Amino acid sequence: MPCRSDRKTNSARLHNARWRIGVTPSPPVPAGRNDLIGTATIMHSDPPDAASYAAIGIESTGTNNGDNVLCLGANESGLCAVGEYARCPGVLVLNHVFEGATVDAATVSTDLTLVPCSERFDVFPIGATNTVQVIVFNEFEERLCTTLSLGCIGDIHLADSPIFSVGLQGSLVGQTRMRAVLGNELDTGHAVVGVSLARYTLPDGSRHSSAHNLQRQSDPEQADVVRLPVMP
């Protein structure tokens, strides 16, 4: 995939990916089946730490014409008159501890990774900039808003924005709701999917982490479109 994050962590790597894929003709073409599963483990060597999460899957509707355009839902116009896969989430929800808070003597920090559902793997550079509206609620139901911009992939350290600070929010935990902003296109959505990684660091420097898929709510107004490279 000609896409990578701008952030790099030398001590971290993904491993233990497990795939079960349905057999397709040669050259391979998309199939209207649900035969793919996956898991990933994020490992750090210093200090030793590991966290696993399940791959994000988009369910097939059972209908697929086998071309290089994958339709995640259907639109009234454009390439996707028939949905080949379920729609991506309209809203993503993250329940988290605010940055700088302490839980059982451990300082908590959270990373968020977002990826657009609509992708163009048939051209390079791929994709376009997506804008995500973010609403952060604290325990008193007070809310603050911001926006995030991401291209091929977005790696976000919540500590980089003061809106996620425990000092600003005045409560230990909160909820962040994310909704992608519609573009000018009539036939391509801008929904996103993502995972979070919470790190708990103790005073002695040891650390343990947990990775989670984000909760999803509602459907987006537009279907998303994935364009694959044309096979020879």
Q: Which domain holds residue 38?
A: 13-227
Identify whether 107 is part of a domain.
yes
* pLDDT surpasses 60 at 214: yes
- Provide the CATH number for the domain around residue 98: 2.60.290.11
Q: Does some domain include residue 2?
A: no
Does residue 65 fall inside a structural domain? Answer: yes
Q: Can you give the pLDDT at residue 4?
A: 42
Please report whether residue 3 resides in a domain: no
What are 126-184's pLDDT values in tens digits?
A: 556 789 999 999 999 999 999 998 888 889 999 999 999 999 999 999 999 999 998 77
- Measured between alpha carbons, how far is 97 from 108 in angstroms, rounded to an integer? 7
Please tell me the predicted confidence (pLDDT) of residue 127.
Answer: 55
Q: Which whole-number Å values give the CA distances from 84 to 6, 49, 61, in the listed order?
A: 32, 39, 5
The residues, ordered by sequence, that sit 6+ positions from 89 with a Cβ below 8 Å of its Cβ are 191, 193, 214, 216, 217, 218, 219, 220
Q: What is the pLDDT of residues 188-197, one digit of tens each?
A: 889 999 999 9
Q: Is residue 6 part of a domain?
A: no
pTM summary value = 0.84
24 lies in some domain:
yes
Rounded CA-CA distance 64/72 in Å is 11
**Residue 178 belongs to a domain:** yes
User: Is 1 inside a domain boundary?
Assistant: no
Domain count, the chain: 1
Say if residue 26's pLDDT is above 80: no
The per-residue pLDDT for 8 is: 38
pLDDT surpassing 80 at residue 83: yes
